[in-house]
Amino acid sequence: MIESPGAVLAVLTGVAAFYFWLARATGWKIFKYVVPLIWIYATPMVLRNVGVLPDSSPTYDVLRQYGLPMFIVLLLLAVDVGAAVRVMGKGILVMLMGTAGIVLGAPVGYFFVHRWLSPDAWRGFGALAGSWIGGTGNMAAAAAALDTPADQFGLAVLADTVIYVGWLPLLLVSKNFADRFNKWTGVADDRLERMEAAAALEVKEEKPPAVRHVLYLAAIAAGVAWFAGWLAPLLPEIGRPGREVITTGTWAVLLVSTLGILLSFTPAKKLPSSHNLAMAIVYVFVARMGAVASLEGLAQAPAFLLGTAIWIAVHGVFCLAGAWLFKVDVHSAAIASAANVGGAASAPVVAAHHRESLVPVSILMALLGYAMGNYLAIVAAQLCRWVGGGG
């Protein structure tokens, strides 16, 4: 068994790096369907359960206490709400409708399957809501805010991958129905041209980061992490004892999220590579989550997946309703859904397939999801808790 904190960190970072290298070096198609995220989670889980990694380690604690708040801040620095609204126009409303479908679809799906799940499965649904509103970083942040058990987080990661494999092709195929869809919604003839012109004005080439930029980012992230960690324990927990809605951990995530969003309105958002640095920490954190997980929760996988399939269907209905209500084209609707369910990794893929000039738009929408994900995932989790009779 590996005991040294340094060795544990080396394994976790090595696992995360290995699967990205393998996906890039081999080009294997399996990584298009079973994305590196699930391998990065599953490998440390197996290593711990066979005795290679320890059950507990200071490395796990440090990543939880400092890595988590730092990557939240770095992710949110790049959010540009104004640009997203300027470019997408009413398309933003469709994304918000899709987000509402995620928040309200979670308790619907949970209602039908919760009797076959463990009593704290609502926390797993909350973690998945974070991913489907924002992205992988939001999933990890929501899991921390909700104190999601490792086995439920594993089910969320599994469902995220399985549903993605089924949902992404539907978003891509929707392009074939553009004419009929646009006629049904009554979209204006010049909407796409106006949106593309607006997107061209927002395109900015990011410069490679210098050493000072990395130091600035590290200082900002560490400072916010320290401040939130100091303030959160001073705030009161909300709810009945044992059934708190807002705990100290929740306060910490909400504080970091709010400060990160506020910083995105300052010159700090111009610092290059904050997103890349954040995602590197996210994947190491996901490996850490796998390292503290057990294999026991996999028995609940069929019920969990059924609930999430119902959930994604509700999201789809909300997206269609939003496109019809606000007279938006199929391309914008598909990108809006991808920005929610797939995040910054998938939205550009869908955008490039539908209309390549909308790739910058898709990234803006995905970043907007980052800003909403941590807050709304907590709401979705509490709705699941309520319908499940958890109080």
Residue 240, classed as helix, strand or coil, is: strand
Q: Which of 378, 364, 319 is nearest to 96 (CA)?
A: 319
Helices (H) and strands (E) in the chain, counts: 19, 2
Q: Which residues of 182-210 are buried (b: 16+ CB within 10 A; e: fewer)?
A: beebebeeebbeebbebbeebeeeeeebe
Cβ 155 vs Cβ 289: under 8 Å: no
CA 68 – CA 249 distance, rounded (Å)? 11
Strands (E), the chain: 238-240, 243-246
Predicted local confidence at residue 390, as pLDDT: 65
- pLDDT beyond 70 at 42: yes
7-16, 74-83, 207-216, 312-321: which range is least confident on average?
74-83
Beta strand 238-240 with 243-246: parallel, antiparallel or unpaired? antiparallel
Q: How far apart are CA 131 and CA 380, in angstroms?
A: 12
Give the pLDDT confidence of 117-126 residue by residue, as tens digits.
999 999 999 9
CA–CA dist 90, 111 (Å, integer): 32
Give me the mean pLDDT over the 204-220 stretch.
Answer: 88
Structure tokens at 273: 């590579």
Which is nearest to 64 in space by CA: 219, 225, 233? 225
Residue 196: is its pLDDT beyond 80? no
Name which of 86-90, 251-255, 274-278 the model is least confident about: 86-90
Mean pLDDT of 282-309: 88
Number of domains in the chain: 1
Answer with the residue of higher pLDDT: 108 or 341: 108
CA–CA separation, 181 and 104 (whole Å): 25
227-254 pLDDT tens trace: 999 999 999 988 777 677 889 999 999 9
Give residue 343's identity as a one-letter amino acid code.
Answer: G
Structural domain boundaries, residue 300: 5-387
pLDDT given for residue 202 in this prediction: 63
- DSSP H helices, 63-190, are 68-77, 81-88, 91-113, 121-133, 136-146, 150-173, 178-185
How many angstroms separate the CA atoms of 9 and 3, rounded?
10
Query: What's the rounded mean pLDDT across residues 162-170?
Result: 88
Contact between 150 and 139 under an 8 Å Cβ cutoff? The reply is: no
- pLDDT at residue 78, as a whole number: 80
User: According to the model, what pLDDT value does residue 204 have?
Assistant: 66
Give CA–CA dist 291/42, Å, rounded. Answer: 8
pLDDT at 256: 93
Q: How far apart are CA 23 and CA 31, in angstroms?
A: 6
Contacts of 30 (CB under 8 A, 6+ apart): none
d(CA 333, CA 331): 5
Tokens of 127: 């973690």
Nearest C-alpha neighbor of 95 from the set 363, 382, 381: 363
